């Protein structure tokens, strides 16, 4: 990796003041001036074009303490969304971001609201079957529970949980009427011991048979999703927030609690090659953009002026930047994603928060799942935790292997929303050359060259190289020719 490549569209490397570029509805596109400012933008995962970015094969496995806490956390989030629904009704549109997965029981603003939640938990666990759920789930100590199976269990208790919340709010005069759900109808959905025993036996029998058990739950989840959709399709006048609360909440809850595992990631994408025509089309504006050619400081690293800390006061923050060698991570193109143990991978919460919400029961007994915290295994756990974090960010399906992608990853703990910049500057000496696309306009080439000329004269560089890309019929891919007469003396 002596050279690495970064494809960019013209609106990314030049400013809108220099260009007359508009979007499909006639609005001027925002310019970033990346070339002038010598910046590399690090994107959050949601801005990348693969919806599977950061996907994890999450499984749940633990003792009775963590499973009971899981159910309590579910109630905590559901009660919050239920209360929001009662207060706002149609004034807002509920979505996954309204599920407060970082909330704790101690976060209730008043003693009354805290007492009401205690009542909700008491009602919920008063059901003999639900009271046994933590025991039944903990019995799966050898065969972990994955997302589709866990969704079935949550769906089975969801209506009963809503009924418990409704009853408690009604009894405290916070609802005019109780929810129109009969006790008998919601209890029918709750699973019994025989069901859990049968499922445990079924998995033990099929554990080595090509993931048969997981495929079964995938089909069940698919069917349930269709039934929910059909129900709402036949009731088009139903309040969308009510649909969210009654039907979509369980699945979105499992989606949102992933935020407890790893911090947000910010990534800059490069490639090991400039020769793929699809890359030019997707990332360089249909061959109208350019490809930046960087040379690496040492093998496997690129030297950047990166964020190493955040300083300032309570009212304002500023980046603390320093020159650092960021490792270049090669993407692994695989069929399967890495398996992640949910309970043992909660890493974005402070230790006191983990103890309060996940690790301890009401009698202060600590789950063995969290034995690594503040113990001899803590250092080993942290090392494995960050290794898996990087592995998740550098794994993509084989469909993307043509990209030959390389990645830089900024320390995510130093970036918080829009409070600090996600752009990192580089020393001009590491920009080795620029490759123009087959369709790069002459006036855009001229503006790019003038920017580079100014930088070369300032730094007294005479070795910068420009290239023109072209399609080579002999090799069947994109090649480049040096524009050897473009020299700055």
Q: What is the reported pLDDT for 418?
A: 42
Instruction: Check the CA dihedral 70-72-73-77 and report its sign.
Output: positive
Q: Which residues contact 454 (CB under 8 A, 6 or more apart)?
A: none
Nearest to 100 by CA among 123, 122, 114, 82: 82
The pTM (predicted TM-score) of the whole model is 0.85
Instruction: Check the CA dihedral 338-339-342-344 and report its sign.
Output: negative
Q: Which one-letter DSSP state was computed for residue 52? A: T
Q: Strands across the sheet with 145-146, in order?
A: 145-146, 57-60, 339-341
CB 263 within 8 A of CB 102: no
Spacing of C-alpha 422 from chain mean position? 16
Q: What is the reported pLDDT for 439?
A: 96
CB 273 within 8 A of CB 293: no
How many CA atoms lie within 13 Å of 459's alpha carbon, on the beta-carbon side? 15
In 320-467, alpha helices (H):
351-354, 378-393, 442-459
- Tell me how far apart the alpha carbons of residues 271 and 400 are, in angstroms, rounded to a whole number: 12
| Length of the chain measured in residues | 489
Q: What is the reported pLDDT for 20?
A: 54
Q: What is the reported pLDDT for 278?
A: 94
Rounded to 5 degrees, what are φ and ψ at 449?
-65, -40
Q: Strands across the sheet with 39-41, in order?
A: 39-41, 423-425, 301-312, 317-327
3-state secondary structure of 410: strand
- Tell me how far apart the alpha carbons of residues 290 and 328 are, in angstroms, rounded to a whole number: 21
Q: What is the reported pLDDT for 417?
A: 43
Residue that has been written with the tokens 């130093």 in this structure: 414
Q: What is the reported pLDDT for 17?
A: 56
Give the number of other CB atoms < 10 A from CB of residue 371. 15
Give the number of other CB atoms < 10 A from CB of residue 286. 13
Spacing of C-alpha 198 from chain mean position? 35
3-state secondary structure of 21: coil
**Per-residue model confidence as pLDDT tens for the chain (489 residues):** 589 999 999 988 987 554 455 544 555 545 568 999 999 988 888 888 887 887 888 999 999 999 999 999 999 999 999 999 888 767 788 999 999 999 999 999 999 999 999 999 999 999 999 999 999 999 887 788 999 999 999 999 999 999 999 999 999 988 877 777 777 778 888 888 888 888 777 777 765 555 667 777 888 888 888 988 888 888 877 788 888 999 999 999 999 999 999 988 889 999 999 999 999 999 999 999 999 999 986 678 888 876 666 666 666 666 676 778 889 999 999 888 888 999 999 989 998 999 999 999 999 999 999 988 766 678 888 889 999 999 999 999 999 999 999 999 986 655 444 444 577 889 999 999 999 999 999 999 999 999 999 999 999 999 999 999 999 999 899 999 999 988 877
What is the per-residue DSSP string for 356-384? IIIIB-TT-PBPGGGTTTTSTTHHHHHHH
- Tell me how far apart the alpha carbons of residues 425 and 306 are, in angstroms, rounded to a whole number: 7
Nearest to 117 by CA among 51, 86, 161, 179: 161
Q: What is the reported pLDDT for 97?
A: 93
3-state secondary structure of 293: strand
Rounded to 5 degrees, what are φ and ψ at 41?
-90, 130
- Tell me how far apart the alpha carbons of residues 133 and 153 are, in angstroms, rounded to a whole number: 9
Q: What is the reported pLDDT for 438?
A: 97
Nearest to 433 by CA among 6, 1, 10: 6
How many CA atoms lie within 13 Å of 284's alpha carbon, on the beta-carbon side? 28
CB 298 within 8 A of CB 325: yes
Residue that has been written with the tokens 């009660």 in this structure: 79
């Amino acid at each position: 990796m002596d050279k690495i490549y970064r494809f960019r569209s013209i609106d990314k490397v030049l400013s809108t003041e220099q260009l007359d570029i508009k979007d499909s509805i006639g609005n001027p596109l925002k310019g970033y001036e990346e070339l002038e400012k010598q910046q590399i933008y690090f994107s959050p995962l949601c801005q990348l074009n693969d919806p599977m970015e950061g996907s994890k094969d999450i499984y749940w496995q633990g003792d009775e303490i963590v499973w009971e806490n899981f159910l309590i956390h579910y109630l905590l989030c559901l009660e919050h969304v239920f209360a929001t629904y009662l207060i706002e009704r149609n004034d807002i549109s509920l979505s996954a971001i309204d599920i407060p997965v970082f909330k704790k029981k101690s976060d209730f603003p008043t003693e009354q609201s805290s007492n009401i939640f205690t009542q909700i938990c008491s009602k919920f666990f008063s059901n003999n079957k639900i009271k046994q759920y933590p025991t039944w789930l903990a019995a799966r100590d050898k065969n972990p529970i994955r997302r589709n199976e866990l969704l079935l269990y949550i769906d089975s208790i969801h209506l009963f949980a809503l009924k418990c919340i409704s009853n408690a709010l009604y009894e405290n005069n916070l609802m005019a009427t109780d929810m129109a759900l009969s006790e008998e109808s919601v209890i029918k959905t709750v699973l019994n011991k025989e069901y859990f025993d049968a499922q445990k036996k079924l998995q033990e029998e099929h554990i080595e048979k090509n993931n048969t058990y997981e495929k079964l739950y995938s089909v069940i989840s698919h069917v349930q999703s269709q039934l929910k959709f059909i129900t709402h399709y036949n009731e088009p006048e139903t309040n969308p927030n009510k649909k969210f609360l009654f039907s979509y909440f369980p699945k979105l809850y499992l989606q949102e609690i992933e935020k407890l595992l790893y911090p947000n990631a910010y990534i800059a994408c490069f490639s090991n090659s400039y020769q793929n025509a699809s890359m030019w089309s997707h990332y360089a504006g249909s061959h109208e953009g350019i490809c930046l050619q960087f040379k690496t400081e040492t093998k496997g690293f690129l030297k950047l002026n990166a964020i190493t800390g955040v300083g300032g006061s309570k009212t304002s923050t500023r980046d603390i930047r320093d020159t650092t060698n960021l490792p270049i991570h090669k993407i692994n193109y695989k069929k399967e994603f890495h398996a992640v143990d949910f309970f043992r991978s909660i890493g974005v919460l402070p230790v006191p928060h983990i103890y309060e919400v996940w690790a301890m029961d009401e009698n202060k007994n600590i789950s063995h799942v969290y034995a690594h915290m503040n113990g001899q295994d803590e250092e080993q756990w942290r090392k494995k935790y960050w290794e898996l974090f990087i592995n998740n960010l550098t794994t993509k399906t084989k469909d993307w292997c043509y990209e030959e992608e390389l990645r830089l990853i900024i320390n995510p703990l130093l970036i918080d929303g829009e409070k600090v910049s996600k752009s990192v500057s580089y020393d001009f000496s590491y920009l080795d050359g620029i490759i123009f696309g087959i369709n790069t306009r002459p006036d855009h080439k001229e503006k790019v060259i003038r920017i580079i000329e100014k930088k070369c004269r300032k730094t007294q560089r005479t070795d910068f190289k420009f290239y023109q890309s072209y399609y080579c019929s002999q090799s069947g891919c994109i090649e480049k020719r040096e524009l050897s007469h473009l020299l700055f003396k």
